[in-house]
Chain A
Amino acid sequence: MHWDTVINLLVSAGLEISVLVIVSIGLAVIFGMMGIINLAHGEFLMLGAYVTLSATRAGLNLWLAMLFAALVVGLFGVVIERLLIHRLYGRLADSMLATWGLSLILAQGVSYVFGPSTQGIATPLGNVRIGAYSISAYSFVLIGAAILMLLLVLWVFKRTRYGTMARAATQLPAMATAVGVNTKRINMWTFGLGAGLAGLGGALLAPLAGVTPSMGQAYIARAFMTVIVGGTGVLTGTSAASGLLGGIQYLVSYLSNPFLGQGALLILAIVILRLMPTGLSGYWGRRL
């Protein structure tokens, strides 16, 4: 193998892994810190993509539009938490049903407002030549963005006052309340943070594929797979599961075809969950 083939393979596999991190980190925050399984996660991604689309059409710079999308979807998450989610804490099945209903409403609502047809944003930045290969420069942006999103989550939970309280509220909720942590408020911000990360994820994906009201469905299964395989540790779980699943999917796709690539991802997920029922981070005893 030539050096350029190796670099191309590494970047492409890195891209596959990064996409998994980008689509699942928001879901992981909400699941890991709150124990809520947000079935509307795919639609939060989709909303992020539509906000980016609308903002760029209104003349906003693409990169600013992406940050704007994160902010809008994050605030939307806060509103949803106040209206819907906070009534359903501790009722797992009810919260799943409610978020699933929400996902249908969002997909149909967006279809109503923006029309059902596929829209899109052209991929920015052109391409880079590496030996005999050329690689989309946007791939490097996505890899960088995935790393930054992981670092952001690390910083928020390790370095901010909110993060410390959020971890306390997850690990010992009764004690946290006893020492004066307002768990209600914490949960509101955690849900908002997860939604905001999902919005940013959707915004980052918008220039990669088509933007449609049903685009969430294309990512949601893999996002759930990543989060369940990763377990409740937001950082360790997401990064390890993305690396393993994304890596195997890319490798098998490259050696055979995308169909077997998807199959390999599913088989690996089943094997891991059989051996480590609490996911990778649960097996390692990691909480973040």
Chain B
Amino acid sequence: MRLIALVLIVIGLLPLPMAWAQDNLAVDLPVEIRQWFRNPDGSCVQCSIGMCGVDQNVPAAATLLWDTEYGSRERGGSGPSRVADYCNRRGIRAWNVVGDDTFEWMKWACATGRGAAIGAGANHFQTLVGYDPTSGRWYVCNNNSPERIDSYDEAHFRRLHLSSGPWVVILDYPPHPARPEYRPWWR
């Protein structure tokens, strides 16, 4: 009986971080839209920036992977200078942050409702979709598995980020509003 109670308590506690994430993620894209940005051919940097672009409603950034009126598709590997080149060409306002301050920038992005394209994993870029300062958990969407959101504690996330080199790209546009709903506040 005690064992069952213990198991129930554990099960009840387990989904809490994801419950927080559901309501507080900076990037709140549904799965079907995240899957548009599955990495097709080693374009992880563009996939990650594209996901932020669609989240912040910046079509020039959201369409990086494809041929559109905003520009030709950008495929393949990237470094900061290539990102700067196509952002300038397309008129995408963004911060290219390299070095020790990336953690501070990532926390700022999530706190203000923005996502970030970040180095995460060896030679890989992913999308930072949220950070919970209370629990210290980071939420990341990998463009190789966009159907799920991965959650990391501080230490694990630090290792993940630094293994690719401290580099993040954050779009300099307003964040999206929370999904609006009617609440009869005037009553």
Asked if A pairs with B, the answer is no
What is the interface of chain A, defined by CB distance below 8 A to chain B?
none
User: Which residues of B come within 8 Å of A, CB atoms?
Assistant: none
